[in-house]
């Protein structure tokens, strides 16, 4: 299942808003230092109107699921990175912790050699 924070993050980035990331709900947007006041207002409007169940969001969700189901080595690393970013308050601190996030996909055969 694609989480809604990922969808909101992509919506903001697709709109040209310079963000570091999104967490929630309730939604919290961390902006990059170069964000302008106008971009913050635009970002706040996007967040206020965000509804992940809207039809155009459903296609984005399908596209994101397909992207995350990619069995290539890049897909496995992408899933590991997303899991890592999803644990932003408790990120892996060692290579072994990072491997623990990625190796299960490889062991399950979710990666092309």
Whole-structure pTM value? 0.49
Query: In the prediction, which pLDDT does 56 show?
Result: 63
pLDDT digits (tens, 9 = 90+) for 70-111: 777 777 777 777 766 665 556 556 777 777 767 776 777 766
> In this prediction, what percent of the chain has a pLDDT beyond 70?
73
Residue 21 pairs with which residues in a beta bridge?
Answer: 30
Per DSSP bridges, beta strands 28-31 and 19-23 are: antiparallel
Listed residue (98, 88, 101, 93) closest to 22, CA to CA: 88
pLDDT digits (tens, 9 = 90+) for 40-67: 999 999 999 888 776 566 666 677 777 7
């Amino acid at each position: 299942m694609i989480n809604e924070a990922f969808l909101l993050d992509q919506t903001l980035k697709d709109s040209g808003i310079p963000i570091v990331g999104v967490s929630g709900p309730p939604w919290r947007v961390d902006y990059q230092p170069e964000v302008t006041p106008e971009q913050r207002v635009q970002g706040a409007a996007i967040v206020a109107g965000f509804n992940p169940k809207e039809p155009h969001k459903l296609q984005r969700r399908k596209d994101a699921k397909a992207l995350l189901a990619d069995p290539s080595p890049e897909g496995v690393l992408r899933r590991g990175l997303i899991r890592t970013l999803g644990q932003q308050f408790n990120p892996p601190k060692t290579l072994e912790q990072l491997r623990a996030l990625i190796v299960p996909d490889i062991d399950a055969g979710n990666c092309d050699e």
